[in-house]
Amino acid sequence: MPIKPKVPIVSSAHLASGRSAELSEFEFGLIIASNEFNRWAVRCIAAAGMKDMTITDVLVLHHINHRAREKKLADIAFILNIEDTHVVNYSLKKLQALGLVHTEKRGKEVLYSTNEAGQAICQRYYEIREQVLVSALTGDGTESHELSELARFLRVLSGLYDQAARSATSM
């Protein structure tokens, strides 16, 4: 029986012609992984006790909690690569209303940090993540290296997509 040529798994066949077939296949995988990661993070935070949070809320909370340092709105948006600071600001207000974030005004700047409740939710998220996600990894070191390389490659591609977005905007 002859071996069939590999057919790329893509979401938009019209974009998968010529040299771009592998890129289209990657983009489809990225779409699926991104949506699944978002679903996972929202369900994990719900299991930790915080229902009705969006993926942006989860990411903002974790970043504010990161290294127990106060963060500015602009820095949070920058690190998370969210162009519209209003989206981050909406999440910050929601996190404040949920009693997870403390604000402090210094001059014209507002600084955000997690309070005890926010830290406790992040800790519970960590525990659930370890129990149901991290424990599924083999732990032989191979996956760790592959994940690290994949993360590096995604950062490289992020730069490519960023530059392509700038180019497309100027057309």
Q: What's the predicted TM-score (pTM) here?
A: 0.89
Question: For the chain, which domains are there?
Answer: 23-130 (1.10.10.10)
In this prediction, residue 1 carries a pLDDT of 66
Q: How far is CA 60 from CA 43, 96, 158, in A?
A: 16, 12, 19
The pLDDT profile of the chain, 171 residues, written as one tens digit per residue, is: 667 766 666 667 777 677 778 888 889 899 999 999 999 999 999 999 999 999 999 999 999 999 999 999 999 999 999 999 999 999 999 999 999 999 999 999 999 999 999 999 999 999 999 999 999 988 888 888 999 999 999 999 999 999 999 999 999
Nearest to 59 by CA among 28, 99, 26, 87: 87
Q: Which parts of 71-171 are beta strand (E)?
A: 71-72, 101-106, 109-114
SS3 110: strand
SS3 109: strand
In this prediction, residue 8 carries a pLDDT of 66
Q: How far is CA 66 from CA 48, 116, 135, in A?
A: 17, 14, 22
β partners of residue 109: 106
In this prediction, residue 7 carries a pLDDT of 66
Q: How far apart are CA 158 and CA 13, in angstroms?
A: 23
